[in-house]
């Protein structure tokens, strides 16, 4: 590996396999593991992503447990604001707005971090949070027929977002299917972020805390 440093301490890395530039992602990873300038930081980042993968199990096992509750705190405000944002666009979108915005806000901020600020770790963390937000939404969707979940502000079950959404679209009998698909999408996003984060920890190495804007 050869690396050079610009004024902002961001390494430019050329990975080699023997004397040949690494071309495939797997080749780049193998080369980076051998020549990483500070592997301890890569292992610490991998530990973070492993913890995030474990959080999937906790969230699926008990949606009201530690992970689910933390995600709820981060997302419920945007959920409620989403209803207000989408209110002018009709009843269906008003009810959909809560779920849309509790996920979309993290996707958009992550996109700004990735494309606007050229960060790596922070957008992946934000997108992983969006995935967890989908897991929370899946619980709400799956409750559409039963309407057993307590609602905010003491609202009765007639205000259940997904009961209204699926009733308006004549799809109420399929609440379980929409919940399952949402859950699969959420897990897929989190796993993809964890794998990408672990990969980037090696191929775009951090050489110290604060040494690389990631």
Q: Is 166:175 a contact under the CB 8 Å cutoff?
A: yes
106 by Cβ neighbours in 10 Å (0-12 / 13-18 / 19+) ranks as buried
pLDDT at position 6, please? 36
73 within some domain:
yes
Q: Which domain holds residue 128?
A: 40-203
Task: Give the pLDDT confidence score for residue 152 in this predicted structure.
Answer: 87
Residue 210 lies in a domain: no
Residue 55 CA: distances (Å) to CA of 61, 107, 214: 10, 19, 22
Burial class from Cβ neighbours inside 10 Å (0-12, 13-18, 19+) for residue 42 reads buried
Whether residue 209 is contained in a domain is answered as no
Q: Please name the residue that has the structure tokens 């992946």.
A: 124
**pLDDT given for residue 112 in this prediction:** 97
Instruction: Establish if 212 belongs to a structural domain.
Output: no
13 and 58 in one domain?
A: no
Q: Which residues contact 24 (CB under 8 A, 6 or more apart)?
A: none
- 211 alpha carbon, distance to own chain's centre: 25
pLDDT at residue 202 in the model: 84
Same-domain check for residues 86 and 153: yes
Alpha helices for 36-174 (secondary structure H)? 39-61, 66-86, 91-111, 121-142, 161-168
Does 91 share its domain with 178? yes
Neighbours of 2 (CB within 10 A): 10
Do 91 and 189 belong to one domain?
yes
Residues 132 and 147 in one domain: yes
The structural domain count of the chain equals 2
C-alpha 64/C-alpha 67 separation (Å) is 8
What is the model's pLDDT at position 23?
64
33 lies in the same domain as 68: no
Residue 125, pLDDT score? 97
User: Could you list the pLDDT tens digit for every one of the 214 residues in the chain?
Assistant: 344 333 344 444 454 444 445 567 777 777 777 777 788 888 899 999 999 999 999 999 999 999 999 999 999 999 999 999 999 999 999 999 999 999 999 999 999 999 999 899 999 999 999 999 999 999 999 999 999 998 888 788 999 999 999 999 999 999 999 999 999 999 999 999 999 999 988 888 776 655 555 6
The answer to whether position 93 is within a domain reads: yes
Q: What is the largest CA-CA distance in the chain?
A: 68
* Contact partners, residue 17, CB within 8 Å, separation at least 6: 27, 30, 31
């Amino acid at each position: 590996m050869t690396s050079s440093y610009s004024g902002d301490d961001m390494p430019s890395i050329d990975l080699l396999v023997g004397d040949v530039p690494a071309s495939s992602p797997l080749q780049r990873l193998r080369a980076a593991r051998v020549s990483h300038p500070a592997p301890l930081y890569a292992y610490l980042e991998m530990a973070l992503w492993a913890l995030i993968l474990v959080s999937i199990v906790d969230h699926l096992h008990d949606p009201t447990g530690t992970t689910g509750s933390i995600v709820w705190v981060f997302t419920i405000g945007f959920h409620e604001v989403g209803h207000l944002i989408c209110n002018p666009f009709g009843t269906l979108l008003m009810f959909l707005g809560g779920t849309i915005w509790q996920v979309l806000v993290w996707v958009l901020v992550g996109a700004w971090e990735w494309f606007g600020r050229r960060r790596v770790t922070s957008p992946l963390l934000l997108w992983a949070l969006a995935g967890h937000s989908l897991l929370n939404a899946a619980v709400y969707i799956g409750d559409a027929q039963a309407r057993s979940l307590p609602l905010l502000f003491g609202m009765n079950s007639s205000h259940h977002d997904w009961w209204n959404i699926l009733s308006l679209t004549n799809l109420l009998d399929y609440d379980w299917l929409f919940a399952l698909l949402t859950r699969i999408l959420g897990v897929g996003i989190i796993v993809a972020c964890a794998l990408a984060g672990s990969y980037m920890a090696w191929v775009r190495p951090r050489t110290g805390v604060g040494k690389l804007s990631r």
